[in-house]
Amino acid sequence: MEISDILDAVRNGAQATSQDVVKLLSAEGREMEELFAEAREVRDRQFGKHVFAYGFVYFSTYCHNNCTFCYYRRTNSIDRYRKSPEEIISLAADLKDAGIDLVDLTMGEDEHMYADDYSELLEIISGVKKLGISIMASPGAVKKEAMPKIKAAGADFYAVYQETHNRDLYSKLRLEQDFDFRYNQRVWAREAGMLTEDGMMVGLGESMEDRADAILTMGAEKCEQIRCMTFVPQAGTPLQTLEPMDSYMELKSIAVMRILFPDRFIPATLDVEGIEGMKSRLDAGASTITSIVVPHRHLAGVAQPEKDIESGGRSVQHVFDLVADMGKRIATQNEFRSMIDKLEERIRPKP
């Protein structure tokens, strides 16, 4: 089948196969532009002119894991920080006051935050919730029993990325981490009443079939948010010399996810190419801008620890202005909250 035939079939309700997805991800030239145009049309039909904005607070860069791709792996000799609950709540308040829709509270798998039955983590989530803003909790892989507590503290979303659904590749990336335990994070979070996010990474040695499998698996998980990010080699890691790929596979993955799963939140992250990459990701069908960071507050990113942060390139106003230039607008906090309430009602555990 040609790409136009696959798009027509999906448009008419057909389920895409793995082979279909591989074909779509292989689009080049005119066919790639056709793919992006279809994704934009699907996105606009679902969300209109709304774009959603997520603020990013990476509050602890300590981690007990030793992932081969991550700058913050425990054996990397780097400067690290751990923000206090007061600092974190202050940062979240700045984002709320600026009009951000959701605060993403992200950390490495920090034993300090896991101690005493996750007491400090729960304190942080609860403190931010009192500000009256939606919360995504991204604390890594935790015990199943922690999920209802994280929900009760105020988290709306729980994000944990599998990166790849190829078990062999996973074992080479996330050393000594159980695939099923990580996968079940989203199952357990959903059982506790939280919305969930999964994510794939491209450029780590996966095949095209692996990418297609990840997209279809994330869709089948029914995560409300799914994402793709391009791997950026990190200093001090086993993969630091891996040849980086351009962003086109990420863009095509965004477009395919949008076309196959129209109602999902799909991020245009600022953490890979900074503000320069935002427009191309929105033009590929993304609905959500993530990793907006308050400048001059000594925060780091994930894929790019310093990219556009202190310069203010990832600041709220700069992002909002660029979105307006594209003929879109950032959804208000009330508009976003209304959507989240409806999604949470759909998955709320029955008494």
Question: Was 237 annotated as part of a binding site?
Answer: no
pLDDT in tens, 21-67: 999 999 999 999 999 999 999 999 999 999 999 998 999 999 999 99
Looking at residue 39, what DSSP letter applies?
Answer: H
To the question of whether residue 69 is assigned a binding role by annotation, the answer is yes
Question: Domains of the chain, with CATH numbers?
Answer: 49-347 (3.20.20.70)
Average pLDDT taken over every residue of the chain:
93
pTM metric for this prediction = 0.93
Q: Is 138 labelled a binding residue?
A: yes
Q: Under 8 Å CB-to-CB from 44, ≥6 apart: which residues? A: none
DSSP notation for 126-150 = HHHHTTT-EEEEE--S--TTHHHHH
Residue in 189, 247, 346 with CA at minimum distance from that of residue 32? 247
Asked whether residue 104 is marked as a ligand-binding residue, the answer is yes
**pLDDT tens by residue, 197-242:** 999 999 999 999 999 999 999 999 999 999 999 999 999 999 999 9
**Structure token pair of residue 307:** 């990219």
332 is in an annotated binding site: no
Q: What local confidence, expressed as pLDDT, does residue 302 receive?
A: 54
Is 63 annotated to bind ligand? yes
161 is in an annotated binding site: yes
Does 227 appear as a known binding residue?
yes
**223 carries a ligand binding annotation:** no
Q: Is 70 annotated as a binding residue?
A: yes
The reply, when asked if residue 174 is annotated as ligand binding, is yes
